[in-house]
Structure 1
Amino acid sequence: MSPVTDHPLRYATVNELHARPFPTVTLPSTVALVAFMQPDNPAGRDRSEDLAHLSDLVTRAGGVLPEPGATHYSGALGRSEVKWESHTEFVSYSAFTPGLSPRPFDPAEADVFPKDWRAKAPGLRLISLLLRVEEMPEDESELLAKLEDWFVPESLAASRITEGSGVIAGDFRIDPAGHMRFAVFVKRGTGPRRIGRIVQRLCELETYRTMSMLGLHQARMLTAALNELDPRLTDLVEGLEGEAGGRSPDETLHALLSITAELERLAVGGAFRFGATSAYEAILHQRVSIMGEERLSGRQTFGEFMTRRFDPAMRTVKSAESRLRALSERATRAAELLRTRVEVERSAENQALLESMDRRADLQLRLQHTVEGLSVVAIGYYAVNLCTYLLYPLAKPAGLGKELLTGVLVLPVVFLVWLGLRRIRRRFH
């Protein structure tokens, strides 16, 4: 029997399912997350620079270098475990270090990624997160006291998760050292993989929240541009009812094309960002929902925080995208109206031209008839004279004078000339 031939992508598609496993996090631990993104065309960046930057970090710790073209990597970084992922628009580094520093959220915890190495990143720092994982106190008041001390109460979000076996908290604020803070409390005996899943989902929550909010900046710039284009388009549409300020259809069409081109440019420029924002938002809500939050002592949950603070921003993005789509449709309808108006005007001009041509043809026909009448007279005059000269020698012996002979010949000769011209005209017609 011939061997079975596998599809060339069979193993690649299966391995992709296991390319990004959840980390194993022991209790207690410190997690540092940093993400870099290039400001210009991040999706089309040179990914070899990201790999070179990762290789520099691994080389410093004497670790195993990543494979060429890799999109993910895990390895030791001193006493920490580092995880690197290359996404469509950014790269993220996560370092999981056993133990806790005496000072909660000490900025030195981020130095697991050296400062000089961070300064050479092929992109700008977009996310910097410190996450503290420690054992849950038996006394809830002690836990609440830590939260009040570590976070800003006004924006603090905290909740119980995984059927009460853990507590997550954060205030979604950047501290003076430039880091976002999250805290995870888990009961003693919770497995490292379960803790890793909690930590991974919190890191993803912050990552995708940040990436989603990039769409808000795009939406605000788009709104400013639409606020300038909307009145111009409205004036053009109102001017289609008549001559707007003496503006000709050609001028109106030129202005409309300018607006349409600008709208198309805005649509192309925002299509990727708005599409990415929608995808990031969906992932964010999915991560929040699977955590199974329960309220902690009346504090707002992460889901409630997102509903109050995050969702309005996403509605703004959707509103700007919808407004751009509506304005583009209005411009298209205006172009159709202008085209209809031009066609009607051209039809009227063509009708007037046909009427003018009819009048000219009628005038030409009348003139032709007049010319034909004059031609009969002129030809008849010369024909009578010729016949007179021809017949006078014969008529003289009969006693007919020249004048009488001419008078006798006028009617029959003119009639014959008229009849001949008529037959010629009929032949041509």
Structure 2
Amino acid sequence: MTQLTLDDHPDRYRLTNELHARPFPELTAPCGAAHLAIKQPTRASERDKSEDFAHLIKLLDRYGAPHPPPGANHYSGDLGRGFLKWEMHTEFVTYTIFAPGVAERPFSGELFSLFPADWLAEAPGKVVTSALIRVERMDQETTESRLRGPAQQWFVPESLTASRVIDGEAVIATDFRIDENGHARMAIFSQPDIGGRRLGRITQRLLEIETYKSMALLTLPRAQTVAAAVSRLDRQLTAIVGDMAQGKGEDSETLAALLRVSAEIEHLSSANAFRFGAVEAYEAIVNHRVQVLREQRIGGRQLFGEFMMRRFDPAMRTCRSAKDRLNELSLRAARVANLLRTRVDVESQRQNNEILAQMSERAALQLRLQETVEGLSVVAISYYAVSLGAYLLGPPAEKLAGISKPVLTALLVVPIVLGVWYAMHRVRARLTGGAHGK
């Protein structure tokens, strides 16, 4: 066999092994499972995950179990008389203990006692969900009897959900309620010839449905708060647009009000972006896990899919609605800001045109004044030039030509005035031509 001579990508083996790192448990009925999901109440995605790892190590040390490698985000191994499966997720961690056999008293919580009480009290977070699964082996006829009898005592009949899954290899039942001990109860009645891995997949999927359902529902209170805030901000934004349409208020006041609304909208968006993104992922996982069960109706009872459609989907629609309304409000605020900016630009252009018109009027007035000054300047310069000419040419003219000084002065006025006017005209033309050239 030809061996590769190229170097492997640094993450090639790690990522390939990740695909096989979380195999389904292999179970044999009768057996049971105790499941626990723990999450910090706030900013769980930013938590110090080393605390979760340290908490796992404390549990393993209680039973003398081997440790996972540092930094691991999943673990599977024997724990006392059971088998522990631990997983670290973005927002929460899960502990699941599988053990053979079932207690005589259904859902007594005996298996859950493998989690020490003092160890639970030290958990770095709060319980999101706690579930007990009872797995019994029985044929189809016994299963029907079980659902009509004991299952009516285990679960609330009004909420009882039961169906055949995985080509009729098992029957699953639950009421999605929390019992007096704080656990959700689930039951699996498997056919005698079901495979261990198939039974493990069914069990694991039930636990995932319960966990991700609970994680998704955590967004509902936040969505309701966001929806109320969006309604309030929508009214404020509508009032701002109404004032703009009627021309009320100064632009500076309108801008200040719009900035306050826009800032609060952006704060809501940034503060809830992760939560709304997470609920979409959790909802997709729940729907997928229900779908792969391939449910078949049994005895007219509601299916898991029907329960989710009636009870779970409305909550998810509320979350999606809050997210969509918030995004729509953000777009509306942006459009209003553009409208206000356009109005301010138009007003600024109008003011600029008025200023230019006033400047043009002042320039015309200044030109007329300048022409007046130039006329006066011609007169003044001509006056002094005539006086100087008369003083300069008076004696020679009177002596040589017999022209008196008054007559000489009169003769000098016209040519000197014309000369001064022409000289100033040339100077102004030269200056004006130089300014245009620049």
Report the alpha carbon displacement of residue 3 of structure 1 after superposing the two structures with TM.
Answer: 6.6
CA distance in 1, matches of 2:416, 2:26: 126
The two structures have a TM-score, normalised by structure 2, of 0.92
Aligned to 1:247: 250
Distance 1:61 1:2, change over 3 A: closer
Distance 2:424 2:194 in 1: 120
What's the counterpart of residue 211 of structure 1?
A: 215
Q: 1:8 to 1:406 in 2, by over 3 A?
A: closer
Percent identity over the alignment? 54
CA distance in 2, matches of 1:40, 1:195: 35
Residue number in structure 2 paired with 1:153: 157
Whether contact under 8 Å (2:103, 2:110) holds in the other structure is no
Q: Distance in 1 between matches of 2:391 and 2:166?
A: 134
Deviation at 1:384, TM superposition (A): 2.1
Residues 195-206 of structure 1: pairs in structure 2 closer than 5 A:
195-206=199-210
Deviates more, 1:255-264 or 1:85-94: 255-264
Q: Deviations over 1:316-367 (max 9, x none)?
A: 1111111111111111111211221121111111111111111111111111
Q: Measure the CA separation in 2 of the matches of 1:299 and 1:264.
A: 46
Alpha-carbon shift at residue 242 of structure 1 (Å):
5.2
* SS of the residue 1:300 aligns to: coil
Q: CA separation in 2, counterparts of 1:333 and 1:71?
A: 46
Change (3 A) 1:350 1:46: same
Does structure 1 conserve the Cα–Cα contact (< 8 Å) formed by 2:379 and 2:417?
A: yes
Spell out, residue by residue over 1:219-272, the C-alpha distance to the aligned partner (whole angstroms, 9 max, x if none). Answer: 11211221221122222223333543x222x33333323322322222222222
Change (3 A) 1:142 1:396: closer
Shift of 1:203: 0.5
Whether 1:163 aligns to 2:170 is no
- 1:353 aligns to what? 355
2:171 maps to a residue whose letter is V
Give the distance between the partners of 2:67 and 2:426, measured in 1 at CA: 106
Matched residue type, 1:183? A
How far residue 400 of structure 1 moved from its aligned partner, in angstroms, is 4.4
Tell me by how many angstroms 1:135 deviates: 2.6
Amino acid in the other structure paired with 2:174: G
Q: Is the 8 A contact 2:99 2:111 kept in 1?
A: no
How many Å separate the matches in 2 of 1:141 and 1:3? Answer: 60
Partner of 1:177: 181
8 A contact 1:32–1:129 mirrored in 2: yes
The residue type equivalent to 1:127 in the other structure is T
Paired residues, number:
427
Please state how far the C-alpha of 1:118 moved relative to its aligned partner. 0.7
* AA in 1 matched with 2:128: L
Q: Distance in 1 between matches of 2:428 and 2:147?
A: 116
Indicate yes or no: 2:376 matched with 1:374: yes
Alpha-carbon separation, structure 1, partners of 2:19 and 2:375: 101
Checking the alignment, whether the CA contact within 8 Å between 2:212 and 2:283 is kept in structure 1 is yes
Runs of 4+ in 1 over 6 A off after TM superposition: none
Residue 429 of structure 2 is aligned to residue 414 of structure 1: no
Question: What is the DSSP-based 3-state SS (H/G/I as helix, E as strand, rest coil) of the residue aligned with 1:64?
Answer: coil
Residue 194 (str. 1) matches residue 237 (str. 2): no
- Pick aligned residue for 2:145 from 141, 145, 156: 141
Deviation for aligned residue 1:401: 4.2
Q: Structure 1: where are the runs of 5+ without partners? A: none
Give the aligned partner of residue 424 of structure 1.
Answer: 427
TM score, norm. by length of structure 1 = 0.94
Q: 1:331 aligns with which of 330, 333, 343?
A: 333
The alpha carbon displacement at 1:388 in A equals 2.2
